[in-house]
Amino acid sequence: MFISRSALRAVATPLRAQRPVPALRYLRTTSGPTPPPSAASQAPNPASPDPSQPAAEPHRETQTGKTLSGESLPPLSADKPVETPSAPGGSSPDPTPSSAASSAASPASQVPPVDALSTRQNSIAEAFLDLHPDVAPRSEEEMRGSQFPGEKTGAKARGAGKSSIEKKRANLARAAGVMTVAGLAWAVYDLGKDWADVEEQKKMFARSDDKQAIEEAQEGGWLGWWGRLKIRAADHLDYLNKPAWDPLLPPPLPEPHYRPYTLVIDLEDMLTHDNWDLEHGWRTAKRPGADYFLAYMSQFYEIVLFTTLPSYLALPVIEQLDPYGAYIPWKLFKEATRYKNGMNIKDLSYLNRPLERTIILDTNPARFQLQPTNGIPMKPWMGTKGDTTANELVAMIPFLEAIAIKQVKDVRPIIKHYEGKHIPTAYMEAEAKTKKELLEKWEQQKKDTSVKGWISRLFGGLTSTTMSDAPPETDIERMRKTAQKLYQDEQKYWKDNAEIIQKQIEEDKQRQLKEMSTSLVGVMGFKPPPSAAPAQ
């Protein structure tokens, strides 16, 4: 607390004339509140220096600044009053009643202790900065260094003093580094080695869309090695975007179910169309001629229904299209697609079928972007009345059956030839042209009256004469008649035996449900619904 000037004046008044007044020093303690200054204490009262007093000691320099120590200040005694300096001119003001009252009311505890400044403890920061050797400034000798040439620094040589465990760790680290480098070298060699066979080459070329790498892989030497390395590395890095399994289909069926050609068709907007309205909700419409297309083309092609829909959405619709499973032997769903360029595509190289005998029909050309020469884009059928695209699917039958009848070795050049054209119209024109040329040739043979023609007809007999009287047919027309007859016989068989076939299907379902009780699913507690439980 502070001792007010009025109190000091009251104590020092009797002794003012007897002794000189020293300079007043204000002391501060750490306990007790500070009283508010009075009006008398705020009056200016400069201290006058006494020439008879000895000079004060110089301040000691520290790292925290100029801090006065206890020895540099004279002690204060409690038994001697503290005098205040006299006013200019030798006159001293009379004490006011307020100052006398305040001095009389001041308790003895307000008197500062003896040697208060000398006994004050420094703060932690002052003690640390003044006394800690790490903070003290370094001398010039320490800055220059005290080591002379030839003296030991105490450093150890590399590897000296290592324990056996540290040495083992270092050896293991070296061995791991060598094995890593060797593994990378072997991986680079394995990725760039020659193709195992022609099938691997075709498959890798079909799955890659890097045309430059394909061209390099077809070259020899280091350039071919570099191309194979890029193709195989891209195939490995694309693991998460690949179909769920490889290959997607098992080997082809044996005879008599074997078909040399594979036809991949879409479901949505190709065979069916989904529509929703307020009155009926969701409904699925079947495209006109879809049943005929599937039944007739199954005689020439192995049909694969490949859709981007999940299986739980597509299977109920497929069962309505092919209830007996006679026309669509294979069904592939969304998990069989490949994710590339931000969409699910259909990669035909995973089908385990030769691409030179595979055709895909789809409403979106981007779905077969990796094999564009195998695909025929179709206009989507929207399920509306009077849609001109409703008969486009049936109109594709003559073109597709001609490829199978002619036993084309590679379908891709033929599809490339019809690129950008309306295939049903363009093919019918080509077939009509072939038919016209055949009829013209037949007419020319009928008009041939030369001796060679007469002799050939004479030795040809009745059969030759009978055949020449009827217009000739092309190979495609003869095979088409045979296929139409087989289709009609097959439809008649399904119609006549529909009840028997349906009964067999139900018996198979009941048998499978009955076997569930002895299977792992039955042991786990999964039982068939009551409506589908087998009759006892």
- Domain assignment present for 255: no
Question: Residue 8 has what pLDDT?
Answer: 56
Determine the average pLDDT of the residues in 408-419: 94
Q: Is 172 left (phi over 0), alpha (psi -120 to 50) or beta?
A: alpha
- Domain assignment present for 521: yes
Q: Is the pLDDT of residue 154 over 80?
A: no
Question: Residue 200 has what pLDDT?
Answer: 83
- CATH for 328: 3.40.50.1000
- Domain assignment present for 155: no
d(CA 17, CA 442): 162
Statement to judge: residues 16 and 85 lie in one domain: yes
Place of tokens 């069926």: 253
pLDDT digits (tens, 9 = 90+) for 282-302: 888 999 999 999 999 999 999
**Overall domain count for the chain:** 5
Domain around 332: 261-420
Q: Is the pLDDT of residue 28 over 50?
A: no
Q: Which whole-number Å values give the CA distances from 184 to 34, 173, 179, 271, 293, in the listed order?
A: 81, 17, 9, 50, 54
Higher-scoring residue by pLDDT: 305, 216: 305
168-174-178-180 Cα dihedral, nearest 10 degrees? 90
Band (pLDDT 50/70/90 cuts) for residue 427 is very high
Q: Is the pLDDT of residue 465 over 50?
A: no
Q: Can you read off the two tokens belonging to residue 334?
A: 């969304």
Statement to judge: residues 313 and 331 lie in one domain: yes
Q: Where are the alpha helices (DSSP H) in 389-422?
A: 392-395, 397-405, 412-417
Statement to judge: residues 322 and 277 lie in one domain: yes
Statement to judge: residues 206 and 74 lie in one domain: no
pLDDT digits (tens, 9 = 90+) for 134-144: 555 556 655 65
Phi, psi of 358 (to 5 degrees): -125, 135
Higher-scoring residue by pLDDT: 445, 105: 445
Domain limit, last residue, from 359, 385, 420: 420
Statement to judge: residues 287 and 351 lie in one domain: yes
Region of poorest pLDDT, from 20-24, 155-159, 350-354, 416-420: 20-24
- Domain assignment present for 218: yes
pLDDT digits (tens, 9 = 90+) for 192-251: 888 888 888 888 888 887 888 888 888 878 888 888 888 888 888 877 788 888 889 999
Q: Is the pLDDT of residue 31 over 50?
A: no
Query: By three-state DSSP, how is residue 435 classified?
Result: helix
Statement to judge: residues 41 and 123 lie in one domain: yes
Place of tokens 């009928």: 446
Angle (CA) 353 252 411, round 5°: 40
Statement to judge: residues 471 and 456 lie in one domain: yes
Statement to judge: residues 507 and 466 lie in one domain: no
Question: Residue 232 has what pLDDT?
Answer: 87
Statement to judge: residues 73 and 210 lie in one domain: no
Q: Is the pLDDT of residue 313 over 60?
A: yes
**Mind giving me the DSSP string for 456-516?**
HHHHHHHHHHHHHHSPP--HHHHHHHHHHHHHHHHHHHHHHTHHHHHHHHHHHHHHHHHHG
Asked whether 306 and 336 are in contact (CB, 8 A), the reply is yes
- Domain assignment present for 146: no
Query: By three-state DSSP, how is residue 454 classified?
Result: helix
Region of poorest pLDDT, from 146-155, 179-188, 309-318, 358-367: 146-155
- Domain assignment present for 250: no
Higher-scoring residue by pLDDT: 412, 216: 412
Place of tokens 């280091």: 222
